[in-house]
Structures are given as C-alpha cells and as structure tokens.
Structure 1
C-alpha cells in the first residue's frame, strides 16, 4: 500500500466516529484532508486501559527519533521506513510492530486510500474511496512517545502505521505488492481489532486475510497531488 489516505468529512466518517463513542478528542480537532501522506499527521482511535476510546493526531510513521533542542523534545520520523507494517512481521520478535500488534492497535477513520502501480518506467495512480454513507477504517498500530518541553514539563506524542496484507486479487490492476487492512463496524472486524483485551494473535488471524469489506470506487488520476482523472472510474465490489 502506498503512503496516502483520503480522510474527508463525509456522513459515513462522521457516523463512524459517533459510533466509536470517542471520549477524548485532540485539542486541534480531527485531521481532515483528501491527501494525507506518510510522515504527516493522521487521526487515529484506540482503546485506553479503562476501555475508553481516544482519538489523537499521530505521525504516520511508527518509528520516531527524539531530537533535543532549547525548546525541548521533538519527535521526527526515523530513517527506517515504517508508515506501513507488514502482516508477516507482526509475529516476528524484535520487529517494530510485534508488541504493538498485541497491545497497541488502532484504527484510522477514512474515506479511502491511494495506490501506485509501477509499469516499466511509468507509474499509474488510483484513488479508491467508499460511498458517502459507508464507514471505512484502516487497521493500524500506534506507539506513544514521551519527552520534556523547555521547562521540564512532560510532553507526549503519538505515531502510527497501517497494517498491510497480501495482495487482493480485485486490486491486481491497481497494486500488486500488498493491500491495506480495511475494517468495518458492520461485521465486527473493527470492534475486534480495537478491543484492548484481545492480546492473543490467533484471535486476530482471521482479520489478516485480504478482504474488501466495502464497495470501492477506483478513479485513475494523473498524480495524487493534482487529482486529475485520466480515465473513467470503475467499481470494485465488496467480497
């Protein structure tokens, strides 16, 4: 999966956030944008130790480095690529996502995502999105980072990644290397992924099988930043 998400304000996105019953929201509000890239901030939701749902604007890059200055601690993406976490690394001890998979899972409410297919020396871009009323969430991992400001006061930051699965056959003409973990509250997959009490990887193995839980509209575009259609949109039916 490529590093871009569509998190626009739609009835489905609003309904999903309401259904998640979020008890704590970020002070600056939820991050909404049609084009959010890796290393930028994206809004994630997770369960805290009390079983309540919190939303935070996290850096979309799971591994961060702490930098110190006169202004205090600052967290920046590390040199190790970690905006996605592969499903086959989740059970590898000492991997970046091993402990997070068991203890720090999150979801990213989204309208859609973008993919890139490299064909020879050319790149083909597609943007996928669900219907306005649909409730899509990307399954991810998060981490919490602690430091101090210039006055010695504790500061906290968050990072996240999207879990990627094997390629899905319906996406073969769009992306051939992987597919993102897509969840839905309608079939219970979202609730199971968020449930902090679930720590046994076997209980989540069914979710790590590629599946389209929503009907997707795929639009070929010239490039993500300009979003000019280069052909007719087509439909990918839910499994």
Structure 2
C-alpha cells in the first residue's frame, strides 16, 4: 500500500460501521477525499471494553520534539505482516495489545520501476466501505506532558488479482464479519495466532479499480474495472 487512503463521508462506509457497532460520530471524525502518510486519520480501537474513535497520526513511529511529536525518520505508515511476530520490531507489541481498524471507502496504490512511477490506481469498495486492519501506539513525553496517538496499516504479500496494480504488497482488509472484527479489537486477546489467516493475501469484498493520472489531480486515464472478491 502506497501511503494514501480514501476516507470520505460516504453512506456505505457509515452503514458498514454502524452494522459492526462502530460509531463514526465521535469527537471530530476525519472525512477527507484523500489522507496521506503522516497526516491525521480516524481510527477505531477498544480500551477497557469500550470501543472508541480517535484521531491518530498515520505513521506508527514518532519522535519527541520540543513541542510534541513528529514522524520518525523510519518509514512506518505500513507495517509488514512478516514483521508482526519479530520481537523488538515496531509492530510486535502493538499486534498483541493495540490493534485498530481504519474505516475507509478505498485506498490507492502506486507502482514504481527503477524508482520512477509507472502508474497509479485507486480501489474503492463496490458496495459499502472497507475496514483496514491496523496497529496503534500511544506516546507520552514526560518532560512536556504531551501525548500522541499513532497508527499504521498492516500490509500483506501481493495478491494475484492486484499484481498488475501493485506488485509488492496489499493492505489487510478485514472481512465485514462482526465476530472477527470484535476479536480484532478485543484488547484482551493478546495471543494473535487466531489471526494467522488474516495474514494471507485476501480480497474479502468486490472492489472497483480506476487508473488515475496522479493522486493529487485524480483524473481517470482508463476505464474502471471490477476486482471480484475471493470465494
């Protein structure tokens, strides 16, 4: 996944979340056509059995500054699934204690060859929205009293249906099943082996893909096409 989400005030996203008992109307939810890495994004997490929406910086590792926090020099808007069970990695403890979901309408991918962009695509849910599987971390600066919340999207190996769009990886998209989402958000589940199947590339819902010129301009350059969900 290449650092941009499509988080919009979409009826399908709202319906999906309400059906899973996720309220999007907490304090200052973020609705935007595009959200890029290092920008604020709305996440849903659970603390002491209470599900809540919070604003997090889309960059898991933060560094302390004189005035608060800033994104680390280490790239961490995504967390690779093969690092989740590596001790001392950025996502190891978060995978066990602070999982979250990021409700979105879609996501973007960019394909690079020799460091140059080859093409850009946006994918959106054909119906409803998507729940990205993510991690979050809390940060506290004892010297200033400042606190911050950060997050990342878990990425999986490339899916055969998406390899022509992005050959390196795909984001984790949670199936819209309440029992699974409940387990993912349950902070009391600290042994993540039950999520092993989620670490395999899978498309749980139908997607509509659109090739665009550039993310900032967002003009279509080819007809949209459908990517069917896995059986």
**8 Å CA contact 1:144, 1:158 repeated in 2:** yes
Equivalent residue in structure 2 for 1:135, among 129, 137, 146: 129
- RMSD in angstroms over aligned alpha carbons? 2.0
Instruction: Give, in angstroms, the shift of residue 86 of structure 1.
Output: 0.4
Aligned-partner Cα distance in 2 for 1:6–1:145? 26
CA contact (8 A) 2:68 2:146 kept: no
How is 1:95-174 mapped onto 2 (pairs within 5 angstroms)?
A: 95-119=89-113, 121-131=116-126, 133-147=127-141, 154-174=145-165
Deviation at 1:123, TM superposition (A): 2.1
Shift of 1:184: 3.0
Name the structure 2 match of 1:181: 172
Aligned mates of 2:20, 2:51 — CA distance in 1: 7
Contact 2:17-2:23 at 8 Å conserved across structures = no
**Deviation by residue 1:60-94 (Cα, 9 ceiling, x = unmatched):** 000001111xxxx4111011110000000000000
Distance 1:145 1:12 in 2: 33
State the 1:188 CA deviation: 3.9
Report the Cα distance in structure 1 between the residues aligned to 2:137 and 2:162, rounded to whole angstroms: 30
SS at match of 1:108: strand
Distance 1:55 1:187 in 2: 17
Which residue of the partner structure matches residue 34 of structure 2? 35
After TM superposition, give the deviation of residue 109 of structure 1 in Å: 0.2
TM-score, L = length of structure 2: 0.92
Decide whether aligned partners of structure 1 residues 190 and 135 sit closer, same or farther in structure 2, where only a CA change above 3 A counts. Answer: farther
Q: Deviations over 1:129-182 (max 9, x none)?
A: 013x42311000000112369xx6x44311000000010000011001011000
Q: In the alignment, what sits opposite 2:47?
A: 48
* Structure 1 residue 197: Cα displacement: 2.0
Note the residue ranges of structure 1 that are not aligned, 5 or more in a row. Answer: none
Secondary structure, counterpart of 1:158 in structure 2: strand
Q: Is the Cα–Cα contact under 8 Å of residues 106 and 139 in structure 1 kept in the other structure?
A: yes
Aligned length: 229
Give the Å deviation of 1:201: 2.1
Tell me, in whole angstroms, the C-alpha distance in 1 between the residues paired with 2:227 and 2:24: 35
